[in-house]
Amino acid sequence: MLKKITYISAGMFSSMTLLAVLFKILHLQGATVLLTIGLMGLALVFIPAFLLYKYYS
């Protein structure tokens, strides 16, 4: 279960961050919100889930 959460959160928040960078380059609206959500998600969901996954395996 933890492995699934780790992989899903990594894919979701990484793609959100990359999409935000593309939005920033193209000067589209919503880039700051996407970037904030993507980076906060990586910091608050993915990294702790990854560390717990590595600790228990």
pLDDT of residue 28: 96
Give the pLDDT confidence of 3-51 residue by residue, as tens digits: 999 999 999 999 999 999 999 999 999 999 999 999 999 999 999 999 9
CB 36 within 8 A of CB 23: no
Tell me how far CA of residue 42 lies from CA of 24, 26, 27, 28, in angstroms.
Answer: 19, 23, 23, 22
pLDDT of residue 57: 87
Q: Which residues, at least 6 apart from 47, have a Cβ–Cβ distance to it below 8 Å?
A: none
- As a residue count, the chain comes to 57
pLDDT of residue 42: 94
Phi-psi region of 48 (alpha: psi -120 to 50; beta: other; left: phi over 0): alpha
